[in-house]
Amino acid sequence: VGIHWGGYLGGPVFKSVISYALKKYRVPPTGVEFKPFPLDKAGLKAAALTETSPSANQPDNR
């Protein structure tokens, strides 16, 4: 009484399917900062400048 068998049978299958889908579509875990992909030329140029800045890539050997 009060037991729903669908949860016992469907729960593990749901977990397996959703886990696979989240990994396949590269959905980041909760709490991870997501950087959206630039979709225009200005965004691409800004992203390229921040990723290849000399100060960010070079060690400080003073």
The domain ranges of the chain are 1-31
Which residue, 30, 29, 46, 26, is CA-closest to 38? Answer: 46
> What single-letter amino acid sits at 37?
F
- Terminal C-alpha separation, the chain: 74
Token digits of residue 24:
């396949």
Half-sphere exposure of 25 (CA within 13 A, CB side): 6
pLDDT in tens, 11-44: 889 999 999 999 999 888 888 887 777 788 888 8
Q: What is the pTM of this model?
A: 0.45
